[in-house]
Amino acid sequence: MISGGLPINKEDGPTSFQVTNRAKGLYCASKAGHMGTLDPHARGVLVVLFGASTKIIPYAKEHKKSYTAKFKLGFTSNTYDAWGQLTEHGYNGDTTKEHIEAILSQFIGKTEQIPPMFSAKKIEGTRLYELAMKGIELPRKPQPIEIDELKLNFWDQSSGEGEFNLTCTKGTYVRSLISDIGIHAGCGAIMTALTRTSDQGFDVEQSVSISKIEEHVFEGTHLDLIIPPEHFLSHLPEVRVSTRQQEILYHGNPVNLRSPTARAGLAKIFGSKEKLVGIGKYVPATGQLLPERML
């Protein structure tokens, strides 16, 4: 059974689910899940986990995500991007590079952002975009976000088109950010392109396209691409258990563990075969390791 992950270089067009499902089929995996949605027209790093490794997604180390985004002033859209229902407001060409940079600087640091209706975020079990496609709009609570970098790469004052680099926390919607930039500019703005350049410690240059995976499948070398699941739990300490202890944990019961390296809290568990077998919670007061999520 395959277990582990792979940074995929998503192309413009398919949904994140479609890319994940295609990779699942190529690896004949029992299940697969991605670690952060990319819009259909977005490109770049989409990290996918296979098999039992999907269980560790909630425990994976939180990495900042990086993007390169293009935008255009003078328009608004119900989806905040160029692929929605556009409304033209006009742009008179008087917004300077210095003005745009001053606007961008206002969003650096810890702020709040209202998720767009056209997003995969769930409210009461329903994804917002499903409601938006029916013409339903719900009130959304502002969510805390943090932007470390927001640097203008390019600005064409005459056309009102630009590009910036962004490094931010999970849950930041670049489309919403660009919409807010347009509000500050006074004439609206839409996103025209988006590439996720890094996620989970992988740069876009390290990611693999679906077509490349297909080539590796044909050559029988596709398994060489898989990243071990423990890579995504590098922030957790590790503990080791015997075969017998592993069986006890699989049955949902705690084991006694007197390990000099164990610390209170979550830990990744390795079995007797030097393989990640789960995540546990160590309690120093009792010397017990409780099963949190076994693979």
* Look-up of token digits 């975009």: 129
First to last CA, the chain: 11
The yes-or-no answer on residue 39 being catalytic is yes
CB–CB of 233/61 below 8 Å?
A: yes
Total residues found in the chain within this entry: 295
Angle 119-121-126 from CA coordinates, rounded to 5°: 105
* Look-up of token digits 């060489």: 224
Instruction: Write out the two tokens for 28.
Output: 């004949």
* Look-up of token digits 């059974």: 1
Among residues 12, 39, 94, 148, the one annotated as catalytic is 39
Sheet holding 238-240: strands in order across?
238-240, 265-270, 276-283, 288-294, 255-256
- Helix ranges (DSSP H) in the chain: 16-26, 97-105, 128-132, 174-185, 210-219, 243-250
Give the largest CA-CA distance in the chain.
73
Spatial distance between the Cα atoms of 197 and 67, rounded to a whole number of angstroms: 5
Side chain identity, residue 158: S
Of the candidates 44, 150, 19, 162, the one whose C-alpha atom is nearest the C-alpha of residue 97 is 162
Give the containing element (helix H, strand E) for 168: strand 161-168
Spatial distance between the Cα atoms of 120 and 34, rounded to a whole number of angstroms: 13
Q: Which residues are catalytic?
A: 39
